[in-house]
Structure formats: C-alpha cells, structure tokens
Structure 1
Amino acid sequence: MLIITLILATVVALLLARLLLLRRELGRMTEQLRRYNKRTTGKKIDLTLFDRRLEALAVQINRQSDLIVDAEALRRRTENELRQAIANISHDIRTPLTSIIGFIQLLEAESITPEEKLEYVTIVKNRTRRLQALLNDFFELSLIESSDYRLKTERIGMTTLLTDTLVGFYDRFNERGITPEIRLPKEEVAVYADESAVRRVLENLLANTVEHATGLVVIRFEQHHKTADFTIVNEAKELSESDVRFLFDRFYTVDRTRSAQGSGLGLSIAKSLMDKMNGSLTAELHGGNLTMTCRWKLRSTDR
C-alpha cells in the first residue's frame, strides 16, 4: 500500500511539475506574441519546453504572423500603386486637355487668319482623338482585369491572322523607314484562343514597335513541340534592364516605353489579354535588342 501511495505521489508530482512547466511556457509564448504584435521585436515565438502540441501551436502562430506581414505589405504596395495610378491618369488626361483648352482660346481670338484657324482646329481634333483613345484604353484595361471578363476560345489560324495584321501595318512601318524582317511558317499553325483578343495583342505590340523601334526589326512566328511563339526583336539601346522589368506595368510611365496610342497602356492591355488566354507575354533585353515574345500552348491534336 505504501508503495502504491509513493507511486501515486510521484506521478502527481510529475504531473504538477509538467503543468507548471506548460503554464510557464504558455506565459512565455504570450509575452513573445505581445512584444511581436507591439512591434517591439521582430523575433517570432520559440520554445524552451519540448511538447509536440505546443510546438504545433507555435508553428501555426508564426505562420499566421507571416500571413499578416505579407497582407500588410500587399496593402501598402496596393495603396502606393493606386496613388501612382491616380497621379499618372491625372497627368495623362491633363496634358491633352490643357492643350485643347489653349488652342480653343486661340481660336476665340479675332486676329487669327483662316489658315491659322484651320491649323488650330486640326490640332484640337488630334488632341481630342488622343484623349478619347486614352480614356478608351483605361476603360478597356479595367474591363479586362475584372473577374467577369470572359473570352471566347476557338481554333484560330495564326499564320493567316498574322499576315492580315502585318499587311495593315505596312504603311506605318514604311512611314518610319523601317523594313521589318518577317519570318512566318508556310503552313497554317493553329492555336486555341479568342480571335479578337489575339488581334488586339498583335496590334498593340506592332504599334509599340512602329512607334519606338530603330534599326533592324525582326518579326517571326514559330511552332515548337508544345508552344507557338510570336516574337518581335528590335533595337532598344535607350532601355535599361530596370525598364524592361516594368515594361508591362501600367503604372510605369517612362515616356520611351509608351505605346503608339499615347496612353502607356498598350503593352499592359496586351499582357492582361495574354494572361486571360492562359498564354504569356515576356520581354528580355540582350545586347541592346528588345525581344518581346507571345506564347500560346498547343493542344496535342495540333502538334
């Protein structure tokens, strides 16, 4: 009987000691979490007492802390982007609008000649079209990036579509004194995508090339084992690696990367459309040459 009593007393003492250690460890965890939440330390919860359940709890608390930190960083980044977007939109709208108001004031002057009046009216029309294109691009991008925007997937003959699109840009390339080197496959290559979206992507990329390219321009379309790639290579010695990293960012406003429409959203729209079609649009800079590549995944029946 005495032995049983001693055994029970030992067990109770061990349990009490274990309980006291657990209480102390919980107190340490609470204090560490309090200091972390008050930002007095960046140290996460650690344990001095080995207990699988406590360790699992500490892991989950630390993971939750990481999620909170990431969410806060995302919130700050989103707020900064929103402020930058508002500033960019205001600047892009104010520039042509100020010009329009200025020339309208000139038109109100009684001393202008008929020739000057015609010149000012032409300028006002051009600035108005630019402002209209700008607003259309902002509206289109907001639609594309909404969750409700849907694309129609169908089989598209890319070789034919590219040929038709390139013919439409012949005069614009010719006006810039550019003769692009075009490499298209002789056979028809098909992809599954939205035809109007693909055409918009091609037009935006070609418009950007016409506006900013200098020297040699190479345009090619190739079918690989699993993908079909449309690539434009042109000289871009004025661009840096940092420029290229943000080339498709709608908030990036370096003038030399703006699209032909003058809105700075042409490449952003192209990138968003490619993402919606489960494709990709990338840009790389090698030896002063900018390479932009659109890539569509091929279905097994079309390889």
Structure 2
Amino acid sequence: MHPAIAILLALAAVFLLIAYLLQRHSIIQVRRQLADADSPSVHHLHLKLPLPGREMEQLVAAVNGQLEQRRKEQVLHRSRERAVKEEIANLSHDLRTPLTSLQGYAHLLRDPAVPAAEREEYLAIILRKLDVMNNIVESFYELSSIDSGDYPLDRQPQYLYSLLTEVILAFHTDLVRKNIEVQLNLEESVRMIPLDEKAMIRIFSNVLQNVLRYGKSRLAISLFTEADKVKMVFANDTEHIRRQDLPRLFERTYTTDPSRSSGQLGLGLAIVKQLVEKQGGSLEAELNHGEFQLILTFGE
C-alpha cells in the first residue's frame, strides 16, 4: 500500500475514533442529566448538549419537550390534589357539624323527662339539620354529574323573560320574608336563545338562594341585549361578600363565612358557573360600594 494512502486511512480512523468518543461523551452527559430529572430538587431541568451534532440536537430537543410537558402535568396534578384535599376537608367539616348536633338532640329525645313541647322543638331542629345535609350531598352529586358529563343538556330556544319571571315569582315569599325589596328591569323583547330549560331554572334558583343567604335589603334583576349578547345582571347589597372573595367565589366548597356557621358550602355558585359555561355562556362577579353583581352573558 502506498504510504500516503496508509497515512490518510490512519488519519480517517483517528477522526472516526475521536468522533465516536465525543458522541459517546455527549450521550453519557445527557444520560446523567436525565438521571437527575426525577430528583425532587430539580424543577426546571433542560438537557444540554455538550457537543454539537444534528441527530443528537434533535433527540435532546424532543426529550426537553417531553420533560416540559411532564412538568406541566405534575403542576396540574399537585394543584388538583390540593383542591381535592381542601374539598374533602370542607365536606367533612360541613357534614360533621350537623351530625354532631343530630347526635346531641337525638340523645335528648331519649330522655323521658323532656317535655313534649321541647321534644317537638328538638325534632324540628333535627329535620332542619337533615335538610342541610341532604342539600350538601345532592349538590355534590349534581356537581360531579356536571363534571363527568352525565348531566345531559337539551338546548332549545328559550324565552328568558318568561322563564326568569316564573322563578322570581316562586321565590317571592322567601324574598318578602327576608325583607328584600326587588326591582325588575326586564326587556320583554330579548330574543330567544338555545338553552336548557332545566339548567336555566337551576341557575336562577341558585343565584336567588345566594341572594337570600347573603343579601341585605334590595335586589335588582336586569335582562337586556348588549352588543348582540343577552345579559342578565343580579345586583344586591351585602355585608358578607368582600373583594378578596371574588377570585374564589366560584370554587367548590368555598364559602365567605370563615366560621362556616351557616352550614352551607359554596357549591351553589360553582354549579351556576358550570351550567352557564356548558351552554356557551360566561359568568362574572363584581363588587362595587357594597353592591354585589352576578353578570350572566349568553349569545353566539
């Protein structure tokens, strides 16, 4: 073999060996970085390529994409886990409170020395506590049905003026008893829009129940069209809702009552938000100078 050819072959072999060793070094470094990916102290790992190389660059870019997606899923999982733990804690508290009362009054009813009038009073309290517990369980069931998609919606053209007035009329006695003055600003000419009648009745009922729970003395209900959107505004004065409550107002189990003495969970407005959004609408909450507003908007 010609000496020049032998030298060229030797140099080619050396270059190939160097390229192999460098590639191997890159792979080892990447593998070590991947080994650190599961470390709890590593939150923002991105693989770095020690030496350039097109194939390795593409591989590292793909792996970094997977790591980023994994991090996002971990953050979402931790957030959901915290939310579930909070829901369980709140649910346990709000079921345990009436259960403790039920046990106490049940023991009193077993005492033969308790007068008949007091027995009737204790029995009425027990029934009220049972209503609270039943409402909590039913609300959780309804919310879980909405989440899982087992809450079928039959969207048909609805005349909201009639539907809303019917629900308001059904709550008239309760509003009068609570001394809440009602002012109606409802446009009869608002167009019909495709909505589920049962869901809308549930929405209006939950909103009015919220007014009865937290309202003070007046309620203004408006129905109108704005920018080709159908809007409903429920505005009531209140001393129980604070500005800091607004960001969490539609969260399940959140309540503006820190002591939770009312025995009520924050499920009503959470259900309202879910049902509004499932029908293509939006829900907003505002608080201005002691007036709380819920704004429902529908329209294509």
Tell me, yes or no, whether TM beats 0.5: yes
Q: CA deviation at 1:159?
A: 1.1
The residue that corresponds to 1:301 in the other structure is: none
Q: What are the ranges of 5 or more consecutive residues in structure 1 without an aligned counterpart?
A: 299-303
Counterpart-to-counterpart distance in 1, 2:248 and 2:129: 27
Q: CA deviation at 1:247?
A: 0.9
SS at match of 2:254: coil
TM-score of the two chains, using structure 1 as the length reference: 0.85
Return the match for 1:162 from 158, 161, 164: 164
SS at match of 2:94: helix
Matches within 5 A, 1:10-29: 13-29=14-30
The residue that corresponds to 1:227 in the other structure is: 229
The residue that corresponds to 1:250 in the other structure is: 252
The residue that corresponds to 1:38 in the other structure is: 39
Q: CA deviation at 1:252?
A: 1.8
Counterpart-to-counterpart distance in 1, 2:158 and 2:263: 26
Counterpart-to-counterpart distance in 1, 2:259 and 2:281: 22
The residue that corresponds to 1:56 in the other structure is: 58
Matches within 5 A, 1:185-200: 185-200=187-202
- Asked if the contact 1:233–1:292 (Cα under 8 Å) also holds between the matched residues in 2, the reply is yes
Do structure 1's residue 86 and structure 2's residue 95 form an aligned pair? no
Q: 1:28 to 1:120 in 2, by over 3 A?
A: same
Counterpart-to-counterpart distance in 2, 1:257 and 1:264: 13
Q: 1:184 to 1:72 in 2, by over 3 A?
A: same
Residue 160 of structure 2 aligns to which amino acid in structure 1? M
Q: What are the ranges of 5 or more consecutive residues in structure 2 without an aligned counterpart?
A: none
Q: CA deviation at 1:10?
A: 5.7
Matched residue count: 297
User: For each residue in 1:249-299, what CA deviation from the matched residue of structure 2 results, as whole angstroms up to 9, or x when unmatched?
Assistant: 1132442798x993431111112212322222222334443222222223x
Which segment drifts farther, 33-42 or 104-113?
33-42
User: For each residue in 1:99-152, what CA deviation from the matched residue of structure 2 results, as whole angstroms up to 9, or x when unmatched?
Assistant: 222222222222333322222222222222222222221222222211333211
- Asked if the contact 1:222–1:228 (Cα under 8 Å) also holds between the matched residues in 2, the reply is yes
Q: 1:38 to 1:264 in 2, by over 3 A?
A: closer
Which segment drifts farther, 183-192 or 233-242?
233-242
- Asked if the contact 2:219–2:234 (Cα under 8 Å) also holds between the matched residues in 1, the reply is yes
SS at match of 2:264: coil
Return the match for 1:279 from 275, 281, 300: 281
Counterpart-to-counterpart distance in 1, 2:65 and 2:298: 37
Residue 27 of structure 1 aligns to which amino acid in structure 2? I
Residue 82 of structure 1 aligns to which amino acid in structure 2? V
SS at match of 1:282: strand
- Asked if the contact 1:88–1:253 (Cα under 8 Å) also holds between the matched residues in 2, the reply is no
| Identical aligned residues as a percent | 29
Which segment drifts farther, 185-194 or 69-78?
69-78
The residue that corresponds to 1:178 in the other structure is: 180
SS at match of 1:116: helix
Q: CA deviation at 1:200?
A: 0.2
Residue 33 of structure 2 aligns to which amino acid in structure 1? Q
SS at match of 1:45: coil
Q: CA deviation at 1:34?
A: 1.7
CA RMSD of aligned residues (A): 2.8
Residue 126 of structure 2 aligns to which amino acid in structure 1? V
SS at match of 1:149: coil
Q: CA deviation at 1:11?
A: 5.5
SS at match of 2:74: helix
Q: 1:261 to 1:293 in 2, by over 3 A?
A: farther
The residue that corresponds to 2:125 in the other structure is: 123
